[in-house]
Amino acid sequence: MPRKTAARTARLASIPLGVAGRAVGGWGKRLAGQNAEQVSAELSARTAEQLFAVLGQLKGGAMKFGQALSVFEAAVPNEMAEPYREALTKLQSAAPPMSGQTTRRVLTEQLGRSWRDRFSSFDETPAAAASIGQVHRAVWHDGREVAVKVQYPGADEALLSDLRQLQRFSRLFQMLVPGTEVKPLLQELSDRMSEELDYRSEAASQRAFAKEFAGDPHTLVPRVVASAPKVLVSEWVDGRPLASVIRDGSRAERDRAGYLLAEFHYSSPARVGMLHSDPHPGNFMLTDDGRLCVIDFGAVARLPEGLPEAHGRMLRLALDGESCALLDLLRAEQFVRPDQELNADHVYAYLAPFVEPVRTETFHFTRRWMQKQALRVGDTRGQDFRTGRSLNLPPQYLLLHRVLGGSTGILCQLDAELPVRDLMARWQPGFST
């Protein structure tokens, strides 16, 4: 992992500079008579290629930001979508690995000089490499197949440096993924940095989820075998990555995956008192027995009382068209600042389309639907844009907002149809009252 701040900043800065350079080159090609659509497609493909190359090679906060963006790929307009879809999907589960020598050094520091005695076998070629660590397949001394996650040296420095620099380029990424609030996403990633860097904290969260979902017919959470600050060992699980289902899954597989994902997110606050807060396809698999395997518990929202009741009441008021009561509740929950004057009908018109998934018995999540919402809230000429900019996002709702937005993005990528209203009635307090 490149560790010097100046070097990382230079690589990150190459993204907007590259976009600007390609835009000028594209303008010249159009003046020379080349087809505008061809030029646009070429620019998109080359920008996507650079985006993956820079964010993937830097790992750290740069790659984590790319992974967070990947779930909003469904909102990208169709003419740009294909190259970005491919590039962002790569960021979900792949990155250049660190050397075997470095891996062995980290394992020695974290598990002791005799760390190999804990394993019957250890594959030094990583099975997966992601933002702040890579995963190796191994066999524990008792014969269990395990996944060994090893953190990259310098991940802490890289995370802080990257997220600080990415704030400077947030407007560029806003253009690449319209309808996505990039600045709050970067701030939230920065705020939760220390939690994700401590694998002992992640192990504690994973143990809590694994205990609650043990024997569950729908969800599988691998059990933790051992942990240290920068190494986490858990049971190995084989399955079909969610990205594969998104790419070429059958209708039944798509709907099944969508239902299991939504059920997991809605039910876990009530069952575990926590919410898995890193929703991108690289963290989910479908197992051969039809369950959803969930991994990577570095980011969780702690909700000991379950999902906020007020959130369910907001959804119900929006669903019932109670615009004045909805505005009053939003104000009470600090979604509206005390000095802010808003029109209740404008607020209702802004929020009503977001509750479409619970208006019918089942709802079909599509890229077209998500693109429509992104264009609606991102159109600077419209009332919805002005209303959205006037609303506030209270800190206690930040992670919930990210997870709901991210999981909705995945459902649209899956093109899944599922009974959201039934899940909401079962797991969201305040919705049925």
Of the candidates 113, 100, 94, 191, the residue with the CA atom closest to the CA atom of residue 150 = 100
Model confidence at 353: pLDDT above 80: yes
Please tell me the predicted confidence (pLDDT) of residue 338. Answer: 84
At 251, is the secondary structure helix, strand, or coil?
Answer: helix
For the chain, give the percent of residues with pLDDT over 90. Answer: 51
Please tell me the distance from the alpha carbon of residue 391 to that of residue 347, in angstroms, as a whole number: 9
pTM confidence score: 0.78
Least confident of 62-71, 166-175, 256-265, 359-368: 62-71
More confident residue, 20 or 250: 250
More confident residue, 179 or 406: 406
Please tell me the predicted confidence (pLDDT) of residue 43. Answer: 45
Please tell me the distance from the alpha carbon of residue 340 to that of residue 331, in angstroms, as a whole number: 9
Please tell me the predicted confidence (pLDDT) of residue 378. Answer: 75
Mean pLDDT of 357-383: 89
Q: How far is CA 411 from CA 111, 139, 251, 404, in A?
A: 39, 35, 13, 10
- Mean pLDDT of all residues in the chain? 79
Please tell me the predicted confidence (pLDDT) of residue 396. Answer: 80
58-92 pLDDT, tens digit per residue, is 444 445 555 555 545 555 555 555 555 555 555 54
Model confidence at 137: pLDDT above 80: yes
At 154, is the secondary structure helix, strand, or coil?
Answer: coil
Confidence grade of residue 19 (pLDDT, cut at 50, 70, 90) = very low
Model confidence at 243: pLDDT above 90: no
Confidence grade of residue 18 (pLDDT, cut at 50, 70, 90) = very low
Please tell me the predicted confidence (pLDDT) of residue 16. Answer: 44
Please tell me the predicted confidence (pLDDT) of residue 406. Answer: 85
Burial class (CB in 10 A: 0-12, 13-18, 19+), 28: exposed
The CATH number given to 100-155+194-235 is: 3.30.200.20
Confidence grade of residue 56 (pLDDT, cut at 50, 70, 90) = very low
Domain boundaries, the chain: 5-92+169-191, 100-155+194-235, 238-433
Please tell me the distance from the alpha carbon of residue 394 to that of residue 339, in angstroms, as a whole number: 15
More confident residue, 26 or 209: 209
* Range among 19-33, 122-136, 158-172 with highest mean pLDDT value: 122-136
Please tell me the predicted confidence (pLDDT) of residue 90. Answer: 56
Long-range contacts of 418-422 (CB under 8 A, 24+ apart): 418/255, 418/258, 418/259, 418/262, 418/362, 418/363, 418/365, 419/259, 419/361, 419/362, 420/262, 420/357, 420/358, 420/362, 420/363, 421/357, 421/358, 421/359, 421/360, 421/361, 421/363, 422/361
Of the candidates 57, 132, 148, 62, the residue with the CA atom closest to the CA atom of residue 96 = 57
Please tell me the predicted confidence (pLDDT) of residue 322. Answer: 96
Please tell me the predicted confidence (pLDDT) of residue 124. Answer: 93
Model confidence at 199: pLDDT above 80: yes
Spatial contact of 403 and 268, defined as CB atoms under 8 Å apart: no
Mean pLDDT of 243-262: 95
Of the candidates 261, 253, 243, 246, the residue with the CA atom closest to the CA atom of residue 288 = 253
Please tell me the predicted confidence (pLDDT) of residue 192. Answer: 61
Tokens of 255: 């709907």
